[in-house]
Amino acid sequence: MERPRIRARAPLRISFAGGGTDVPPFPAAEGGCVLSATIDRYAYGSLVPRTDRMVTIESVDFKSTAEMRLDEEILCDGSLDLIKAAVRRFGREGTDGYDLVLRSNAPPGSGLGSSSTMMVALTGLLATHHGRVLDDYQTARLAHAIEREDLGITGGMQDQYAATFGGFNFIEFSEQVIVNPLRIKDEIAHELELSLLLCFTGITRDSARVIEDQTRRTRASSGDTLAGLRAQKELAVAMKAALLTGALQEFGELLGEAWTQKKRMSPLISNPRIDELYEIAHNHGALGGKITGAGGGGYILLFCDFTKKHRVIEALEFAGAVITEFAFDTKGLTTWRA
Catalytic site positions: 159
Please, which residues have CB within 8 angstroms of residue 97's CB and are 6 or more apart in sequence?
A: 49, 50, 52, 53, 54, 55, 56, 69, 70
Strand residues in the chain grouped as ranges (E): 6-17, 32-49, 54-59, 64-69, 98-104, 168-173, 177-181, 196-200, 286-291, 299-304, 322-324, 334-337
- CA 286/CA 280 separation, integer angstroms: 9
Q: Write b or e for each residue in 9-43: b if 16 or more Cβ atoms lie within 10 A of its Cβ, otherwise e.
A: bbbbbbbbbbbbbbbbebbeeeebbbbbbbbebbb
- Asked if 18 and 32 touch (Cβ cutoff 8 Å), the reply is yes
Please, which residues have CB within 8 angstroms of residue 143's CB and are 6 or more apart in sequence?
A: 116, 119, 120, 122, 123, 160, 163, 164
- CA 338/CA 331 separation, integer angstroms: 19
**What's the number of CA atoms in the CB half-sphere (13 Å) around residue 12?**
25
- Asked if 202 and 189 touch (Cβ cutoff 8 Å), the reply is no
